Amino acid sequence: MGLSSVFGLQIPIIPALLFILCLSAIFFYSFAIYAAIAFFRQPRDIDLEFHPPVSILKPICGVDRNAENNLASFCQQDYPQYQIIFAVRDREDPGIEVINKIIQQFPDIDIDLVVSDRIIGANLKVSNLANAVTAAKHKILLIADSDICVGRDYLQRVIQPFKEEKVGVVTCLYRSLAQGWVTILEAIGTACDFHPGVLVSNQLEGIKFAFGSTIVIRKQALAAMGGFDAIADHLADDFQLGYLPAQAGYQVVLSDYIVDHVLDDSTLADVIQRQIRWARCIRVSRPGGYLGLLFTFGTVNSLLFLLATGGSIFAWVVLAITWIMRSLMAWVVGVTMLKDSVAKQFFWAIPVRDLFHFAIWCSGFVGSTITWRGQKFKLSAGGKLVFLKES
């Protein structure tokens, strides 16, 4: 085995590479802490006189946990003029019963229910949105998944960046409210791994993507990207609703408002399938970025470095520093900045989640087929869905 010199030490090539990966992870953790503090400490003024009318599009499929409370939160906004459009594909969908309760509960809110089975592509959620937008009265659209819950000041705050004409899209971070140990691991990953990466990207170059938790988009930006038809066959429709307007010259802004994401309880098999689906989607959509995640896996790389050096004292020191910085980043971003109660309560489970995430990442390199809503698809370049007929 060859040798490599690191800080004057002669280390075999594999341990040397693992050591470099540990250093890169420590740097990433440190920069993520800086990026989070810089983002959340920015002064932001709320102009209460700025309140352009907004059409809220809510695609509905089935009934999520706390569905009525989630949907009702969008009807309780301290905002003068907005419209809510619930869109359902199937007239037998159980979500319609919840929507009718909402309509009765809030008679003073401009609420429409669109029921249409028109399909424009493989992604049925996008077809739902395309059907909903036909009823939209206003020039600014807000898209939010049905499992999102918000406060009364939500709409007033997320609309603020649109005072700048160059802003075409606004999106939000989210806190996942979980029950069951499997979804708790997912929630920890969102707060303590996924969002730090988003904040690093935002600090370095701004963001050019969006999240289903909230996407506020100008109608003209939607038209400039080709409308919903342009993403009708994409799995990551939320990503594309930020990426394509950015490509068209619009600015994408990350709001400082954090919404609550109410996770349904899931089995381990469901979570593994969902995580692998998204891993494969990221790999085919952004192969360079997916491979680059290797440089952020400090927990795993420090363990491998410890094993590769036979448990040397130097490796133990590297592992201790790596895990301390990993924990510090998770605490600053997930607990302090995002105020994520799940991350705080189950902080001790972060190493377990990191090992799970690394296994999913490795699995993401294998295969390009996924199962989504009971149907099988092949992911082609760019994350497009190709329906696979069962033989």
Q: Which tokens belong to 175?
A: 């806190």
Q: Where in the chain is the domain with CATH 3.90.550.10?
A: 54-267
- Buried b / exposed e over 88-126, threshold 16 CB at 10 Å, is bbeeebebbebbeebbeebeebbbebbebeeebbbbbbb
The correct CATH number of 54-267 out of 3.30.420.480, 3.90.550.10, 3.40.50.1100, 3.40.50.300 is 3.90.550.10
| pLDDT tens sequence across 52-108 | 999 999 999 988 888 999 999 999 999 999 999 999 999 999 999 999 999 999 999
Write out residues in the chain with pLDDT < 70, as ranges. 1-11, 389-391
Beta-bridge partners for 215: 143, 171
3-state secondary structure of 56: strand
Q: pTM for the full model?
A: 0.92
- Predicted local distance difference test score (pLDDT) of residue 389: 65
